[in-house]
Amino acid sequence: MIGRHVLAAAEEMGVTLMRTAFSPNIKERNDFSTAIFNAKGEVVAQAEHVPIHLGSMIGAIESLQQRFPEDTIKPGDMFIANDPYNGGGSHLPDLNLVAPVFHEGRIVAYVANIAHHADVGGMVPGSEAAVCESIFQEGLRLPPVRFVATGELSRDIFEIILLNSRTPEEREGDLNAQLAANHVGIRAVTALVERYGAALFENALESYLAFTERRFHAAVAALPDGQYSAEDFLSGDELGTFARIACTVTVADGTLSFDFAGTAPQLNTARNIPHQALVATVFCVVKALLDPDAPANGGAFRVIGIEAPPGCIVQPVPPGPVGTRSISCSVLSDVIQVALSQAIPGRSFAGSGPHHLLVLAGTDPRTGRYFVDYETVAGAIGAQGHRDGLDAVRTLTSGSANLPVEALEHAYPVRVETYALRTGSGGAGEHRGGDGIVRDYRILGDDITVSLSGERQDVAAPGVEGGADGATGLFMLDPAGMAQELPSAVQQQPLPRDSVLRIATPGGGGYGMPAQRDDARMEKDRREGRLDRR
């Protein structure tokens, strides 16, 4: 009962954040997460928003506890952080806000939320681009700092954040929404503690974690002991080069160990995956394959071990850039699931097509004000041995939505002229891969630029068991005219007024031999126009 109340509190925090935020990225795309932690900093409940944020919030609380002794933390305090190397974050646009919950003079829990801010400074609008070569180019870095002291907001820190953003009005509104969400969480958790008593509340949280631990132990114990390996590739620093992600999963004694030895050295571009994003991706894949209905809490981490060599793609060291880690994590999740699924035949996926990122920026001619439109466009999931892949969705670790056309056109000087499935982009097979998306933007301003980041533009999502690979993604200017294709990493490409930018996200891989696809499914494909790739 208390576990359900705690999850409801996390969900209420999420609703508050969504409905009070200013930026389209948070209020429309829901690029945020909310969670409740016990006094040790173990996650007890995370609302269902963006799975990759889990690692960031865990890391932020761990960093907070290391930096601030408990006796220096007071009721009414809140702490903000974003730095992957010193604050537990996973990239700089994600600002973590953590607040302790006190009862009778001691901390009994923490509430936390994370919101992806559309711009926190750096060399590129949006503070996220694969072209960045150092984290110093990616934006403002914050270790855990006291943002609110005994109920009093630090105007100094607040104004530093605003000054570093190209769109300070949005930052002010979104930060206030994060503060409001934590106040809602504190109120809800305090009410629970007062209703049940601190001892029963804390025992219930520990029992909830232990219950999840037992579920995962049982799921892992049912797997055959052994070692299982897989690999896949990101785009490298130079055009036409590739960077390996390798994973070996060891199943033994009811536990899982993930070893990423053999992964390529960290890149000089922002495709690296920091530790907290690695942790979240491993957890997400394990949960999806072994026990999708288990609670999303820290009990699972008690049966999972992770090792990665420092200085590799999935364990970068400063000043390695990490901005586009979410796109890379889509490929990482494929590697993990291919390795782990060898121990659980029948549950594996073919490779998936990750979302693609665009950041439009410039002056809105309707208002004369500078804008930053941060968007990601969904890709597709690969097929499984019993069903087709899913069209136009995020892969395992990414959960935010495509920005609705109406909200986009209201907020920014663009017009969406195509928004459709990229029919035929899913790989053929007995079960076909999911189709990606085509989205065309007509530019309605005079000084607008775009920064672009994508993955699976050079290495397609692989099919399995004879299934075909998915179509690679692409960025294109003027698709109905000269059709200039752009690379997968672009920094502030000028877009003339009335030009058209196309985002075509990759498809998922197919599963099984295409010749084995039954007649009913083939006829359905023909009716839906899925046989012609574009």
- CB–CB of 463/511 below 8 Å? yes
Instruction: Give the separation between CA 444 and CA 365, rounded to whole angstroms.
Output: 8
Instruction: Give the separation between CA 491 and CA 32, rounded to whole angstroms.
Output: 25
pLDDT range class, residue 55, cuts 50, 70, 90? low
**Structure tokens of 276?**
């907290």
Centre a 10 Å sphere on the Cβ of residue 495 and count the other Cβ atoms it contains: 22
Burial readout 74-84 (b: 16 or more C-beta within 10 A, e: otherwise): eeebbbbbbbb
Mean pLDDT of 130-134: 96
Percent of the chain with pLDDT over 70: 98
pLDDT at 433: 96
pLDDT at 532: 62
- CB–CB of 33/14 below 8 Å? yes
- CB–CB of 62/73 below 8 Å? no
Instruction: Give the separation between CA 504 and CA 200, rounded to whole angstroms.
Output: 53
pLDDT at 252: 95
Chain centroid, CA 1 distance in Å: 30
pLDDT at 295: 87
Centre a 10 Å sphere on the Cβ of residue 86 and count the other Cβ atoms it contains: 15
- Residue 481: pLDDT above 70? yes
Instruction: Give the separation between CA 449 and CA 496, rounded to whole angstroms.
Output: 8
Pick the closest to residue 344 from 249, 233, 212, 469 (CA basis): 249
Phi-psi region of 128 (alpha: psi -120 to 50; beta: other; left: phi over 0): beta
Instruction: Give the separation between CA 2 and CA 203, rounded to whole angstroms.
Output: 10
Mean pLDDT of 207-226: 95
Q: What is the pLDDT of residues 19-34, one digit of tens each?
A: 999 999 999 999 999 9
Pick the closest to residue 296 from 57, 99, 60 (CA basis): 57
Task: Write down the residue that tokens 């907070």 correspond to.
Answer: 64
- Residue 533: pLDDT above 70? no
Pick the closest to residue 84 from 106, 110, 55 (CA basis): 55
- Residue 51: pLDDT above 70? no
Instruction: Give the separation between CA 179 and CA 16, rounded to whole angstroms.
Output: 10
- Map residue 251 onto helix, strand or coil: strand
**Structure tokens of 292?**
């999708």
- Map residue 480 onto helix, strand or coil: coil
Centre a 10 Å sphere on the Cβ of residue 4 and count the other Cβ atoms it contains: 11
Percent of the chain with pLDDT over 90: 87
pLDDT at 525: 87
Phi first, then psi, for residue 524 (nearest 5°) are: -65, -40
pLDDT range class, residue 374, cuts 50, 70, 90? very high
Beta bridge partners of 504: 438, 474
pLDDT range class, residue 526, cuts 50, 70, 90? confident
User: Between 473 and 520, where is the model more confident?
Assistant: 473
pLDDT at 348: 83
* Radius of gyration of the chain measured on its C-alpha atoms: 23
- Residue 398: pLDDT above 80? no
Q: What is the pLDDT of residues 134-152, one digit of tens each?
A: 999 999 999 999 999 999 9
Burial readout 217-247 (b: 16 or more C-beta within 10 A, e: otherwise): bebbeebeeeebebebbbbbeeeeeebbbbb
Q: What is the pLDDT of residues 88-127, one digit of tens each?
A: 889 999 999 999 999 999 999 999 999 999 999 999 999 9
Chain centroid, CA 445 distance in Å: 30
pLDDT at 50: 64
> Strand ranges (DSSP E) for 345-413?
356-364, 369-377
Mean pLDDT of 204-217: 95
Mean pLDDT of 157-164: 98
User: How deeply is 322 buried, as exposed, middle or buried, from its count of CB atoms within 10 A (0-12, 13-18, 19+)?
Assistant: buried
Instruction: Give the separation between CA 361 and CA 126, rounded to whole angstroms.
Output: 8
Instruction: Give the separation between CA 105 and CA 491, rounded to whole angstroms.
Output: 51
Q: How many CA atoms lie within 13 A of 306 on its CB side?
A: 19
Mean pLDDT for all residues in the chain: 94
Phi-psi region of 456 (alpha: psi -120 to 50; beta: other; left: phi over 0): left
Distances (CA, A) of 303 to 219, 239, 425: 10, 40, 38
